[in-house]
Structure 1
Amino acid sequence: MDLSTLGGMPEADLRLEVRRLAEQLLSRRSDLLDADEKERLIKEVIDETFGMGPLEPLLNDTTVSDILINGPETVYVERNGRLERTDVTFVNDAHLTKIIQRIVSAVGRRIDETSPMVDARLADGSRVNAVIPPLALDGPLVSIRRFGGKPLGAEQLVNFGSLAPEMLEFLKACVRGRMNVLISGGTGSGKTTLLNVLSSNIPHDERVATIEDAAELQLQQPHVARMETRPANVEGTGEVKTRDLVRNALRMRPDRIVVGECRGAEALDMLQAMNTGHDGSLTTIHANTPRDAISRLEMMVGMTGFDLPIWTIRRQIASAIQIVVQAARLTGGPRKVLKISEITGMEGDVLSMHDIFVFKQTGLDENRRAQGYFMSTGIRPHCLDRLTECGVDLPTTMFDEKILRS
C-alpha cells in the first residue's frame, strides 16, 4: 500500500479504508480464521500501517512503565518496578529498524549507519533511545521510558508513598518562595516526574522558559516558552546544545528557567542565571547523593574550559542553589524522595549543607520491596525567613524531629 498517494485524507478515513481492504482479503479464505483471529489480524495490519507495529499493545498498556528491546526477538517491559519478558517479537532487524525510523522521523530526528544513535520522543511525551548496527551487535536496541499524557499529581505521589505530606508542603513553599531547586537522582528515579509536580506550583503570571534534550516536561502554566536541543545534521553542522539554549533563554525575559537535565558545560550558565535575577529556577542532575550532585556540578562547570579555582565554583553553587532533592528507585521498584537538603553557604573552602527531611529504609517486605519511614531531622531551614518575606508561611513545628506519616 502506498498511502502517500492519498494526499491529505484524514487518518480516520484511511484507517477505515485499510480495515475494509483487509476484511475483503480475509473474506476470500474465511475458512482459515475464526472471528477473533480475523479481528486480531486486522488490528495488527492497522497498527503496522499507522502505529508502532508490535509495540502498539504495549504502548496502550497503562501498567507498562518501560519497554526494553534487545533485538527483534527479545522485548522486556517493566510493571510495578519489575522486569518481565513478553511474547512480542518483530519479523527481523529491518522490521524493528523501520519502526525506530518511524518514531524518530516524526520529531525531526534521524537514525542510520552514519548516525546510529538517537534520542527522540513519542506523541505522549515518552522518551525513546535507540541504537542500531553497527554499534548494536545483536540487532537494534530500543529503550522507551513511558511518560503518560496525564502527569502524576502531587497528591498521587503522596498516596504512592514517594514522599511525606510535610515534605511536599515544604517543596511547594520553596517553589512559590522562588528558591532555586536541584533535583538529583539516578536513571528512572522519578526526577522528571518530581520536576513536573514542583513546576505546577509556579504562579501562572510568570514567564517560564524550559530547555530539554527530548521534550518530557508538561508544565500547566499558560506562559511557557519551550525549547529543545537539536543534533548535528548529515554534514555535521546545525547542532544546538543545551548551553546555547540556556544563553538564548536569558535574552527572552523569563522569570524562571527550567532545564530538563543539567549534564555539561551549561551548568555554568545555569548557575549564573540563578544568580542574576532568575530565582525559582529548577533543574535535574544524575547523582546518588546531594553531595555527589554538588561534586558533579563542580565537574561540569570545569567542562566549560575556563580555569576557575574550585573555591570560586563552590561559592557560585552555594549562592545559586538553596535546595537539593534526592530521589531514588529502591529495591523492588518503589521510588522515594530520600533526602531534602539545604545549602547554607560556605565554611572556608567547604560548601555547607544539612538534611531537613530523610527516608530511613528498614528492610524489605514479603515481596522484596524496600520499606521504611520518612522523618524530619529537627533542623530548622535557614530559608524560612526568606519564604516569609515572599508571603509563604510554614509552621516551625513541621521541622521538629519526628517520624512522618507517609
Structure 2
Amino acid sequence: MSDKEDTESEETMMMKILGSQKKSKKIQEPGGRQYTDEEETSTNDAGKGDLNAILKKIMSAKKENSSSAIQSGSPVEPVQRPDLTVGAPEYVSPSDAAASAGSISKETPPDRTKEADADDVRWSLNRIMAEIGSQSPTGEEDRKRSIAAAKKTTLPPETPQVKQTEQLYESGRLPDELEALRTPQVGQPTDLDEKIVSVDQISDLSARILPKSATFSVEEIRIHGRVNVYEGRGSGTLPSEINKIWQQQFPSGIFKEFDLEEEPDLEKKTGITSSKKIGLSGIFKAIRHETEEYNPKLHGPLVDLTFQQKPGLEEIEVYPVNEPYAYIRIIYDHATHEYTYQVIEPLLSEPEKDLLKELKERLFETLDINTKDISKEEARLKLRAAADSIMQDYGIHLSPIEREKILYNMYKDFLGDGLIDAIMHDKYIEDISCDGVNNPIFAYHSSYESMKTSLLYHDAAELDSFVTKLAQRAGKYISIAEPILDATMSDGSRIQMTLGQEVTAHGSTFTIRKFKDEPITPTDLIEWRTFAPLSIAYIWLAVENGKSAIFAGGTASGKTTSLNAISLFIPPLAKVVSLEDTREVKLPHPNWIPSVTRDSFDAAGRGEINMYELLRAAMRQRPEYIIVGEVRGKECQTLFQAMSTGHVTYSTIHADSVSSVVHRIENPPMDVPRNMLSALDIVCIQVQARVGGKRIRRNKQIIEILDIDPRTNELITNEVFKWRSATDEINYSGKSYVLEEIMEAKGWNENRMREELKRRQEVLEWMRIKKIRHYKDVAKILISYHRDPETVIETVRKDLYE
C-alpha cells in the first residue's frame, strides 16, 4: 500500500468514527468550523472510546505495514515530512536517541522507551488532524492553526520500529498540543484572560492591531558640563533669552503664578514697626524701659549644641531647621545599630516656665486675632507685641535671651505645631507618627529612614488637646462620637488622627505626611536618578501630544511626586482639572481648576462630595487634561470613559506591575471592562528599592498599552524603558509605538523624531547642570520651548557645547 493510500485510509477511517457519534450541541467558531460539545471536553466517555479506537487503528496500520515490508524483504522508506521550522537544527527523536544510546549502555530504561514512543504517536496524530483540517470548509484557517501549534512541538523523525502504547492514553486525555487543536478556545473566557502579553511574543498580528515595526534607535545623550553655575529659586534671573521669549509671548497678567511675590510691608499695612507701639506702652512710653532686641552675634546662641559623649553613641550630623531656635542632631547607637533623631531647642528654667504659663493665660483673655485673615508673619508680630506689652505692664524685665526663649515657645503653641514644631520645619522629614501617650514620636527621614525622636507626650490631656487643635485648624471636627478623622493641614500636609482610647489603646494618635512647599520638577527626578533624561524626554513628548498615563507603585514609591512633575509638560494654555482627596498637585497653568473632595456634615452622610461626583462634574467643564490624585473605586469607570471620549487623563494607583494594575481595574470596586483598557496609552511603574544599602525611588518600567488581541482577549503591551537594579541604569528597549503614532500624526520621519528627542534631552540636562530646579523657573523654560523651541535650543547648545 502506498503512502498516499495509507494516509487516505486513515483519514477515511477517522471521519467514519467521528461521524458515528451521537448528535450533540454544536459550537460555531468565528472562522466557520463547527464542533460538538463532546469534542470540547476531554473527559466525555464517548470521546474516550473514539479516541482509543483511533489510536488502535493507527497502531494496527503501522504494525501491518511494518510486517508486510519485512515479509516482502523490501526496506521501509520513512515518510517524508514537511519541515515546519525555518532554520531549525536537526532533531533527534526520543526513540532514535534511545536506540543510539543502547549501543553504548547495556540497557535502555523502559520508561524512556515509552516516552519516545509517545512522541512518535503524538506526531502522527498531529499530522493526521492537520491534514483533516485542511480538507474542511475552513481548511486553510485550521491548517494555519495546526502548523502554528506544530511549530511549538519539534517534529521527531519516524523510526522503523514503533511499539504499541495504548496504555499511555487509557485515561482518554490527549497531550496539551492536541487538546489545543481538538478544543478551540476562541472567544471562551478562561483564567488566562488576565494575562499580559508582550508585543515581542506575538508575530502574526495584523496591521489593524499594531502599526508597522516601531523600532528605531534613539541617542541617549550624556553631558558632563559645568556645574554649580546657576541655581534658580524663582527669582526671575533666568537667561535673558528665556525672559525675552516670556515677555514677547505672554503679556503681564496671563501667568500670575510667575509674578514675583513681594514681601508684605507690615509697617504700611498694620502701622506696626516695633513692639513699643502696641498696647499701653505707647501711652506710658516715658516711664517704660526700652526693650532690647535679641542679637545672636551680640548675646550668644539660644541653645547649647555641645554633644555629651557617651559610650557607644556617635554624633552623625547637626543641622538647623529653624535657626537660631531649633536644631536637629542625628545620633547613631553602635550597640543597637539604630539612629536617633534629637531635637535641640531653648531650655526653660522653672521660673521661665511659670512666666510662660501666666503669659499664655493673659493672652487667651485679651488677644483676639483671626490668623486666617492675616499672614503668619503678621500674626507673629502681633503676638510678640502683645506679650511685650503684658510684661511691661507687670514690670517684668528680662534679658534678651530669656525674653527670646519665652517668645519662641509662645510662637510654637499659638502659631506653630507645639511639641512637633521643629520636626515640621525639617525639610528632610517625610512622615511624623505619634502612637500614643508615653510613646516616643517617630519621624521618617529621607536619608536615615524611620527614627525614634527625643520627643513624647507625657500627659493624655495635652495630646488630646493637640489633636483637637489640629482638627479645628483643618476646619474639621473630631470627638468621642466620631474619633477618626482625615484632614489637610494649612501647609498642605495630610494628617490622620484618632481621639482618646475609643479606637486606639494607647490614647490619641496622629500621622502626618508632609507636603513639600516647592513642587518636585522633572529636573529633580533626573538629578535623583528616578528617571533617565531620555525617559523624561519620552514622557514630555507623550504628554504634549495627548497620551494618557497611570503611575502605579507601592506606598511612598513616588507616584504622586512623579505625576506632579510631569504635569509641567502640559501645554501652557490647556484647560486642566485636577481632582484630589487632599491638595497635592500644584500647577502654574492659568486655566487650571483644582478640586478636592468634601466629607459629610453628619453621620448620615449628607453633604458629602466624593471623587466620583467631582469627576462627573469635571466632565461637564470640557477639560483637555484631567488629573486624578488616585483612583480607588467606581470613579475609575468614569476616568476610562473620559479617556475613550478623547480626554487626556493622568492618575495614580496602588499596584506593582501592569498585571496587578489590570487586575485591580477590572475587578470590584472599579469594574472597568477590558475593552476600555486600550484607551490607556502608558503605565509607569514606580518602586522603592535599596541599592548599596541606600533607599532609592526608581521608575522601574514604562510600558505602552497597545491593544487587545481579539482572538485571545489578552492585553498587548510593549516595554519601552526598564530599570536594571544591578547597574542602577534605565535602558531603552529600542521600540516605541507611542513615538511612532506621534511621528505619523506630525508627519515626521525617524531622523526628525531622533532630533526632537535629542533636543529635549539637552534642555533637561542643561537645567540639571545649571541647577534650575524651582518649579517656576522650570515651567518658564518648558513653556518657552513650547512657544519658541529654536531660540531655546540655540541658547542651551551655546551654553553646553561652546
- Please classify the TM superposition score into its range, dividing by the shorter chain length: 0.7 to 0.9
Structure 2 residue 435 is the aligned partner of structure 1 residue 76? no
Structure 2 residue 564 is the aligned partner of structure 1 residue 191? no
Structure 2 counterpart SS, 1:136: coil
Question: Which has more radius of gyration?
Answer: 2
| Residue in 1 that maps onto 2:742 | 387
- For residue 208 of structure 1, the aligned residue among 573, 576, 583 is 576
- For residue 251 of structure 1, the aligned residue among 620, 623, 628 is 620
Structure 2 counterpart SS, 1:84: strand
| Residue in 2 that maps onto 1:129 | 496
Structure 2 gap ranges (5+): 1-362, 759-764, 769-802
Q: Please give the alpha-carbon distance, in whole angstroms, between the structure 2 residues aligned to 1:291 and 1:372.
A: 24
Map 1:34-183; keep pairs closer than 5 Å.
36=401, 39-72=404-437, 73-81=439-447, 82-132=449-499, 133-183=501-551
Deviates more, 1:390-399 or 1:380-389: 390-399
| Residue in 1 that maps onto 2:639 | 270
TM-score normalized by the length of structure 2? 0.44
- For residue 374 of structure 1, the aligned residue among 698, 719, 730 is 730
| Residue in 1 that maps onto 2:656 | 288
TM-score normalized by the length of structure 1? 0.85
Q: Please give the alpha-carbon distance, in whole angstroms, between the structure 1 residues aligned to 2:757 and 2:616.
A: 39
Q: Please give the alpha-carbon distance, in whole angstroms, between the structure 2 residues aligned to 1:238 and 1:29.
A: 54
* Letter matched to residue 739 of structure 2: L
| CA distances 1:308-349 after superposition (whole Å, capped 9, x unpaired) | 7xxx8111112x211000111113421111111111111222
Structure 2 counterpart SS, 1:341: strand
Deviates more, 1:258-267 or 1:4-13: 4-13
Rate the CA distance shift 1:240–1:128 in 2: closer, same or farther, 3 A. Answer: same
| Residue in 1 that maps onto 2:723 | 359
Provide the aligned C-alpha RMSD in A. Answer: 2.8
**Are the equivalent residues in 2 in contact too, given 1:44–1:54 (CA < 8 A)?**
no
1:69 deviates by 1.6
| Residue in 2 that maps onto 1:365 | none
Rate the CA distance shift 1:254–1:337 in 2: closer, same or farther, 3 A. Answer: same
Q: Please give the alpha-carbon distance, in whole angstroms, between the structure 2 residues aligned to 1:36 and 1:179.
A: 59
Q: Please give the alpha-carbon distance, in whole angstroms, between the structure 2 residues aligned to 1:8 and 1:146.
A: 25
Rate the CA distance shift 1:45–1:154 in 2: closer, same or farther, 3 A. Answer: same
1:358 deviates by 1.1
1:37 deviates by 6.1
| Residue in 1 that maps onto 2:98 | none
Rate the CA distance shift 1:28–1:12 in 2: closer, same or farther, 3 A. Answer: closer
Structure 2 residue 677 is the aligned partner of structure 1 residue 317? yes
**Are the equivalent residues in 2 in contact too, given 1:118–1:131 (CA < 8 A)?**
yes
| Residue in 2 that maps onto 1:368 | none
Q: Percent identity?
A: 24
Structure 2 counterpart SS, 1:330: strand
Q: Please give the alpha-carbon distance, in whole angstroms, between the structure 2 residues aligned to 1:23 and 1:161.
A: 54
1:108 deviates by 2.8
Structure 1 gap ranges (5+): 363-370, 400-404
Normalized per residue, the structure richer in strand is: 1
Normalized per residue, the structure richer in helix is: 2
Q: Please give the alpha-carbon distance, in whole angstroms, between the structure 2 residues aligned to 1:69 and 1:27.
A: 40
1:373 deviates by 2.1
| CA distances 1:279-310 after superposition (whole Å, capped 9, x unpaired) | x21000011112211211112xx326xxx7xx
**Are the equivalent residues in 2 in contact too, given 1:97–1:140 (CA < 8 A)?**
yes
Q: Kindly tell me the number of residue pairs found equivalent between the two proteins.
A: 379
1:397 deviates by 11
**Are the equivalent residues in 2 in contact too, given 1:360–1:373 (CA < 8 A)?**
yes
* Letter matched to residue 598 of structure 2: R
| Residue in 2 that maps onto 1:366 | none
1:55 deviates by 1.6
Deviates more, 1:108-117 or 1:227-236: 108-117
Rate the CA distance shift 1:23–1:248 in 2: closer, same or farther, 3 A. Answer: same
